[in-house]
Amino acid sequence: MKRPWLYIILFIGVSLTEVIARWGGWTIVHFVAKPLIIPLLLGYYLTKSDTPSYFLIGALVASWAGDVLLLFQSRNEIFFLLGLSAFLMAHLFYIFCYRQNRAANQPDQLLTTRKIRLSFPVLLVGTGLVVLLNPSLGDLKMPVLMYALILIFMVLNAVFRYGRTSPGSFWLVFAGAVLFMISDSLLAIDKFFIPLAYSGVMIMGTYATAQLLIVMGIIRHGKI
């Protein structure tokens, strides 16, 4: 019997445990809780969706790989690069997922001027962050810049679903994409610019919420 509610309860519980572990500095709990977040969300999606998107599944699997790899970044910088690559793949999968989950028979309701208007804040924040971090990126400049470009493109593709899905699906996915960008921005600022107080709490809180909202939004699209 499918029990999506059980997965979502466990997801919320494990996510809160991870956030508390980051706040309290409980390393062992952190290493146990963090790798469980995405598998539980994937379980929720697979039991809740009638026609699962392989692109969304790919995004979640890549995100899980990124979560696990970043656990070891303090031991060797290669784990940060591998984790960055995994999340870059996750964003590519999300881009294809957003394109897949929009109504093909509905005209694009965003005229060119409106697209520019809605896209400008995303581009401004993304490029502003790159300019801020650029002097301190060192050898990681190209990988981080490439990641930032794909991240911006992911959020823009969430924007471009406007009018081609239900309002609920659009706003859930859009809010999730923005929170994902905020989470990644906090991580980048904390790592490359200035250490942030309770950075782990803010990063994981926005990250887990972002993933949940995106999944719920894609599920909602299938019900329009």
Q: How far is Cα 45 from Cα 20, in angstroms, rounded to an integer?
A: 25
Q: Give me the pLDDT at residue 195, please.
A: 87
What residue ranges do the domains of the chain occupy?
4-221
Q: Give every residue of the chain whose pLDDT is below 50, as ranges.
A: none
Q: Give me the pLDDT at residue 193, please.
A: 87
pLDDT digits (tens, 9 = 90+) for 52-81: 999 999 999 999 999 999 999 988 889 999
Q: Put residue 163 in one of left, alpha, beta given phi > 0 → left and psi -120 to 50 → alpha.
A: left
Q: The pTM is what?
A: 0.93
Residues 44 and 60: beta-carbon distance below 8 Å: no
- Which residue has tokens 């303090």? 74
Q: Give me the pLDDT at residue 153, please.
A: 94
